[in-house]
Amino acid sequence: MARFRVHPRDAFHEKIIEQAARRLLGRVEEATGLVLDLLAEVSVDLNRKLIDALQRAGLNDVSDAVLTEQSNMMNRALSSLSNYERNIPEIFLSHLAKDGGAILTAAHASKLDELADLYQTLGLDMLSAWPKLGERSSWLALVDVICELGGFDQDRLAAEARIAQERVDQSGEVAFSALNIKSNYRDLDHWSQIGDPEAAVSILTDSLFKGWETARVAAAALAEAPPELAIPSLESALVRLQSSRQYQALVAHSLAHQKDYEPLAEWAISENATLRLVAAEALPAAIDEQLDPLLHTLARDQDRYVATAALHRIAETRISAAAEYLKEIAESLSWDWICADCGEVNDTARGGCRKCRYAPPDPTEVAGELLAKVFGDYSFSGKSLDDNR
């Protein structure tokens, strides 16, 4: 079975983004738009650095507008912060530091690598990784499970947590302020180290219903859990999470992995758009240099996100059959579609939903863009690629 990974943000990748922004802003016209598009997707730390890059590039009007909008968004979000546990970073460090403790070398003491890796693995640079009121005990239980599954050195974690506490106490440094600079995500597959797998699966399953980052970590761990324990829990969660497409898709990916991806063919023709989406994302794109027929169908799905996912999967093969099919889609007329947000059926001509105004990507445009990007010199007739943009 292939190893299942749900990747968090990568600190090195974020550093590259920051450096590129600082080099290109003010010099390349398109860079400003690209940076603005990224602001809503990156971590809090990188968001701050990109705003600084805009200001240093002399784009103060742009950065001021962004900061004003973010300030308005923050004011709306502040009310939700009252739902989260106070001082949880300090509680987290105290929890890790309570037992044992190794004698660290000067290098280890300065870098805190083990603690940094745990920080990265848990996604603690995102608010959705932290517990809300009343969740502290269950969240700390999850932390203990992740420490075991990730193969973390408990004594070293305890020693590094104490050093982090001292830095906070002595200098007022914010907990974890430097931990996302250089760290690694750990695979959560050390199930042989778990004394009570049934209890661990129960803790992880409960975590699927918490914040997004917490659910992401739990799903990655459950994908590698003993199948006889994980599969029933994931199947139950899949039903319970029908109201959330994002969470249900996360659980479906873990369940598909546990079942060696056998459910994908059935999911590809399911009435559940989330399951069709997962099938579009995970089906083998090509078999013996031929595109999977199921992807042909999914690429014309009434749910535009399903269709787009299938098109991306097809493009990944880079085979001639993929180019031909992308060309066929790109040159075809758009078809009626169902809004993934509200369920409204929209006719071909509408770019945005007539009920909620939600505007998903048009598969014919996506096909044209992929054709140009992946098969740039491929013959393209009918409506031009410029029309697709």
Residues 6+ apart with CB under 8 A from 183: 11, 113, 116, 117, 119, 120
Neighbours of 250 (CB within 10 A): 24
The predicted pLDDT at position 11 comes to 53
Is the predicted pLDDT of residue 389 greater than 50, yes or no? Answer: no
Q: Is the pTM of this model over 0.95?
A: no
Indicate the average pLDDT of the chain: 82
Residues 6+ apart with CB under 8 A from 61: none
Contact 319, 289 (CB under 8 A): yes
- Give 229's pLDDT tier (boundaries 50, 70, 90): very high
Cα–Cα dist 100/371, whole Å? 57
Share of the chain above pLDDT 90, in %: 46
Q: By C-alpha distance, which of 165, 66, 183 is closest to 123?
A: 183
Is the predicted pLDDT of residue 28 greater than 80, yes or no? Answer: no
Mean pLDDT of 144-165: 92
Residues 6+ apart with CB under 8 A from 83: 132, 133
The pair of three-digit structure tokens given for residue 287, joined into one six-digit string: 């078999």
The predicted pLDDT at position 368 comes to 93
The predicted pLDDT at position 264 comes to 97
- Give 179's pLDDT tier (boundaries 50, 70, 90): low
